Structure 1
């Protein structure tokens, strides 16, 4: 088990759930204070291990022992957005490509693509992904796929 400082330094003192900065000097009892979230995936559970990620105390408490949800920002115009954690796990297991959202305009899809790639660079830095925008029935489909399958 790592120390809070080790996990915080590795995560650049950003909450893996909300992607906001975490103050390393704030009390661990404060809702915005640092805490370690032990994330256990199905693959890691079989190996009796997990991944330690940095989270705000409130984000970690809110998540509890359920599968985490990484929200899409309200500023993006996306329809039927896919759950980001599930998509990351699926691409990590199977590779391929996953449709992650529909957008009414191409610029909406480009904005969502830019945000998603930036967010995944911190959420799952080991995953080498790229996006593709496909015209589909008057809207635009945002697809995420492994860069090197």
Structure 2
């Protein structure tokens, strides 16, 4: 799992040091992501079908206290960026296509599309996502399309 995730935290997307103590906030931790419905049905146990992902211990602990948010990097120039965990849950449940951001230029849209494919490979590894970029209104819409693997 850690190798699959490229030793990067699925929540903050920062590197996880495999040699760091698991008791350190920056140390490795295993997190399972399940829908709220599946987690409630499991009643405290690990939900069936929950995907395991690598996370920093601190990120994993904070996720238990607050709803997790996957940040968009500041190096990308995007407007109206969608909350990625919600996008992942909808695509996992329904498949299909969802517009996730608007960019002012084609170059910005291309960078955003590349980042999204890489990010979803760790956020939702069971989904095969592809991106599409559509011009409109002087901007470029970036959409994700998902198919189950």
TM-score range, shorter chain: 0.7 to 0.9
State the Cα deviation string for residues 72-108 of structure 1 (Å, max 9, x = none): 1000000010011111110111122111000011111
> In the alignment, is residue 26 of structure 1 matched against residue 20 of structure 2?
yes
CA gap 1:38/1:120 in 2 versus in 1, 3 angstroms: closer
Give, in angstroms, the shift of residue 144 of structure 1.
0.8
Describe how 1:1-149 pairs up with structure 2 within 5 A. Answer: 8=2, 11-45=5-39, 48=42, 49=47, 50-147=50-147
Deviates more, 1:115-124 or 1:98-107: 115-124
Any gaps of 5 or more consecutive residues in structure 1? 1-6
Q: Flag structure 2 segments of 5+ consecutive residues without an equivalent.
A: none
Shift of 1:62: 2.7
TM-score by length of 1: 0.83
The two structures have a TM-score, normalised by structure 2, of 0.83
Higher relative contact order (CA 8 A, sep 6+): 2
Query: What is the aligned residue count?
Result: 142
- The 1:120–1:132 alpha-carbon spacing in structure 2 relative to 1, beyond 3 Å, is same
* Alignment RMSD: 2.1
Q: Distance in 2 between matches of 1:20 and 1:68?
A: 15
